Amino acid sequence: MDRNNIYRFVKHAKIRIKENKDSDPKFQKKSNKPRIIAVTSGKGGVGKSHFVVNLAINLQKYGKKVLIIDADLGLANIDVLLGVRPKFNMYHVMKGARELKDIVYNCEEYNGVKLIAGASGIQEIADLDESHVSDFLSGFDDLEGEADYILVDTGAGITKNVVSFLLSAENIIVVTTPEPTALTDAYGIIKVVGQHTNNESNIGLVINRVLDVTEARKVFDKLNLVTRQFLNMSIENIGFIYDDTVVSKAVRQQIPFSILEPYSNAAKCMNNITAKILNLPEEDILGIDVNKGSLRGFFSKALNFFK
């Protein structure tokens, strides 16, 4: 999509949201607002939705109320990964049959993680116009009492819907893998966000399917260097997840790997990432059994944009 068209779309959506907030008492600023984190990727198939699901499970372990919004419009799959079947989803909201707060599904199987399910295989949901998207974004304020953290699983790529969700979030996490195509596409999404935020970045990077700590460090350093050099932006190093066979096993059984095998390498990496997002000291990390000598150096950079 043309960059100018995306800019006009996002600007219009923000104006509509501001007008609603100025005229409606429910949009007045409240205390203890949930932290909205949008999780995205430049391309599909890098493990973005798996990351969202397991991050939600881990945040819940620390006593946080978590709501997942499956905003991969048209190709949603969070409900499948969790093995749940909500009665209502985004399609019902977009058709005017339900409000956003009415379709919140309580995943009792996962200690109360909540889900707003997306719709899969419906073209009209994937190609929403700007008025529908802005109305949807405005509905976030109705969810304040539902969660401490709202995790928005966006679609892959740089469509107008994805960009709108990213620019409306407090923080952005880009998930990638070491493959050159995935890194190129991750750079593309970072570039688009920077163009709409005057290069004031709140973007963190998670590198999935790495073989070892050295590979993870090299991948981050490479992408961060290019981002600094050509975009005048910095990205934050949130962490990495090992290439682990437990992930495909978890998909087949429709159980998040952090629950299926909590002591697996992938689950341990998710524990560390969660602790970093929560800005926890090392001694407060729950259920961690890691090689401190190798991980401490890699995770030494603070996630300042989560503070």
Strand (E) or helix (H) holding 67: strand 66-71
CATH superfamily ID and name for 3-24+33-306: P-loop containing nucleotide triphosphate hydrolases (3.40.50.300)
pLDDT for 87 equals: 92
* Cα–Cα distance, 47 to 114 (Å, whole number): 20
pLDDT for 237 equals: 95
pLDDT for 17 equals: 40
pLDDT for 30 equals: 43
* Cα–Cα distance, 163 to 10 (Å, whole number): 8
The structure tokens 């493990």 sit at: 47
Per-residue tokens: 159: 């469509």
The structure tokens 């934050």 sit at: 236
pTM of the model: 0.80
* Cα–Cα distance, 230 to 224 (Å, whole number): 10
**pLDDT at residue 9 greater than cutoff 50:** no
- At 103-143, the pLDDT tens digits run 999 999 898 999 999 876 555 555 556 666 666 666 667 77
**pLDDT at residue 297 greater than cutoff 60:** no
**pLDDT at residue 171 greater than cutoff 90:** yes
Measured CA to CA in angstroms, residue 211 lies from 59, 162, 179, 207, 217 at distances of 25, 30, 12, 11, 11
* Cα–Cα distance, 57 to 272 (Å, whole number): 13
**pLDDT at residue 20 greater than cutoff 60:** no
